[in-house]
């Protein structure tokens, strides 16, 4: 696999598109503001539950790759315990993911704090999910195009299978989304992904499908 160099700016097909360059950001600010106001009671309730069941810290902070490969800090409601083994190392994910954590993940409630990242400009409502910085050198040149845009709360890959699909397929879907963002129907695409995400959350809450890779409690490492 060729080592990928993070792109430094939007390509011409996106920079010259009004939606991708300007209107998408306006939609993010408006949408995130409305969602934060509407979901504040739910977020406060989630905060209380996590604090009571899992203890401190309530939020899990992690550094991820943002647009152009710039490091960003994202927050999630913590879904795993901090239990360690005799060697002092954290127990496997499957042993630390309790019932409360599974519910948080199935309902995507753990992702709600990232609405603040959308408001700050680090993320978008729709885009490739932010992945760890250590993945950047592992991307092929095509896979690295996912870094051309802001990472999103949900995206094309998320409504096509989320963590249940393998890495090559998932990253190809991200690259395809970046291509489609430069086309005339990009606003309709984002709207469709947003609506589909709502239905997917209901489906995964009922079935618990898509929140983890097959045979794993979470998502497997991208190699």
pLDDT of 216 > 50? The answer is: yes
Give Cα separations from 217 to 102, 148, 150, 173 (angstroms).
9, 30, 27, 23
pLDDT of 170 > 90? The answer is: yes
- Per-residue pLDDT tens over the stretch 56-91: 899 999 999 999 999 999 999 998 876 666 666 666
* Top-confidence residue, 74 or 162: 74
The pTM assigned to this predicted structure is 0.86
- Per-residue pLDDT tens over the stretch 102-142: 888 888 999 999 999 999 999 999 999 999 999 999 999 99
> What's phi and psi for 48, nearest 5 deg?
-65, -45
pLDDT of 150 > 80? The answer is: yes
* Top-confidence residue, 75 or 2: 75
Q: Read off the pLDDT band of 1 (50, 70, 90).
A: very low
Between 99-107 and 24-53, two packed helices, what is the crossing angle to 10 degrees? Answer: 170
Residue 199: its H or E element: helix 186-207
Q: Within a 10 A sphere around the Cβ of 40, how many other Cβ atoms? A: 11
| Of 218, 137, 219, 204, nearest in space to 170 by CA | 219
Residues 6+ apart with CB under 8 A from 107: 201, 204, 205
How large is the average pLDDT for residues 159-166?
85
How large is the average pLDDT for residues 203-212?
74
pLDDT of 179 > 60? The answer is: yes
β pairing state of 124-126 and 152-154? parallel
Q: Read off the pLDDT band of 193 (50, 70, 90).
A: very high
pLDDT of 214 > 60? The answer is: no
How large is the average pLDDT for residues 192-221?
78
Whole-angstrom distance, CA of residue 178 vs CA of residue 86: 46
DSSP 8-state code for residue 149: S
Q: What is the pLDDT of residue 16?
A: 55
Mean pLDDT of the chain, nearest integer: 86
Whole-angstrom distance, CA of residue 43 vs CA of residue 15: 35
Q: Bridge partners of 12?
A: none
Q: Are the CB atoms for 222 and 131 separated by under 8 Å?
A: yes
Q: Read off the pLDDT band of 20 (50, 70, 90).
A: confident
């Amino acid at each position: 696999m060729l080592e990928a160099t993070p792109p430094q700016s939007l390509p011409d097909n996106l920079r010259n598109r009004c939606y991708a360059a300007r209107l998408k950001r306006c939609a993010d600010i408006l949408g995130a503001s409305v969602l934060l106001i509407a979901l504040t009671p739910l977020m406060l309730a989630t905060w209380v539950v996590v604090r009571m069941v899992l203890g401190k810290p309530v939020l899990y902070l992690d550094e991820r790759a943002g647009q152009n490969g710039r490091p960003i800090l994202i927050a999630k409601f913590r879904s795993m315990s901090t239990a360690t083994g005799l060697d002092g190392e954290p127990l496997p994910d499957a042993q630390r993911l309790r019932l409360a954590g599974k519910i948080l993940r199935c309902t995507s409630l753990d992702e709600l704090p990232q609405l603040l990242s959308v408001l700050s400009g680090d993320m978008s409502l729709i885009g490739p999910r932010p992945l760890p910085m250590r993945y950047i050198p592992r991307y092929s040149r095509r896979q690295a195009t996912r870094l051309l845009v802001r990472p999103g709360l949900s995206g094309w890959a998320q409504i096509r299978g989320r963590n249940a699909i393998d890495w090559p397929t998932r990253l190809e879907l991200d690259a395809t989304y970046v291509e489609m963002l430069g086309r005339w129907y990009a606003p309709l695409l984002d709207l469709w992904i947003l609506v589909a995400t709502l239905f997917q959350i209901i489906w995964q809450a009922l079935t618990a499908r898509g929140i983890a890779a097959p045979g794993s409690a979470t998502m497997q490492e991208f190699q």
